Amino acid sequence: MSQALTEKCDRLFDIYDADGNGHLDGNDVDIMARKILEGGNVPADSARAKNMTQEFRSWWGALRDLADADGDGIITREEFRTALGGLSAPQLRDTLQRAVDAQFTALDTDDDNVIPLDLLVAVFTHGGVSPEDATEAARVLDANGDNNISRDEYVSAWVTFLTSDDPDAPGSRILGRLN
């Protein structure tokens, strides 16, 4: 795996390890979903929130099935890197795209198919990204400069984040600039 992909996997692992215990489990995924919803002021009992949480759990199930080499129900950093390095498994890529799409739908409460940059910054910051990195991510993802992120831009950015070796690709910087 390239240095860029390794660094991106490690950043995502650190953010998803919401309870800080050094591994990922279903609890971490639920905490992250809750943080995203809270950051976007999406009511947890709404249909959008429930759908997003369910899609995050589906993504977790696919990730666990692929990555949990020893069958202990948790994913270590190394297992995470191996599973996400390039998203070679179609079922993992598909569930990731569905989870990101459901996240976008949850945040797009007015159904205009865009998320304002300030909302994206708030969600990322609440999820554990530094304010500086969240602002940078929003800026580079807004390719047309309209202060909004479209669904296509958002989903594409996350796929790029987990598949591209180019550290300067806009999607590669979704959690901030790489070293």
Beta-strand pair 148-150/114-116: antiparallel
Average pLDDT over residues 94-99: 82
Using 50, 70 and 90 to split pLDDT, how confident is the model at 30?
A: very high
Average pLDDT over the chain, rounded to an integer: 87
Least confident segment among 28-37, 46-55, 133-142: 133-142
Are the CB atoms for 102 and 11 separated by under 8 Å? no
Q: Nearest Cα to 76, choosing from 67, 84, 85?
A: 67
- The residue assigned the tokens 């580079």 is 140
Average pLDDT over residues 27-31: 92
pLDDT at position 122 is 94
Task: Please report, for residues 24, 124, 167, 176, the alpha-carbon distance to residue 173 in angstroms, rounded to integers and kept in the order given.
Answer: 22, 12, 7, 5
- List of residues 6+ apart from 123 with CB closer than 8 A: 36, 39, 40, 107
How many CB atoms sit inside 10 A of residue 47's CB?
10
pLDDT at position 89 is 54
Kindly state the tokens that stand for 39: 């950051």
Superfamily of domain 3-173 in CATH is EF-hand (1.10.238.10)
Q: Nearest Cα to 54, choosing from 38, 40, 39, 37?
A: 37
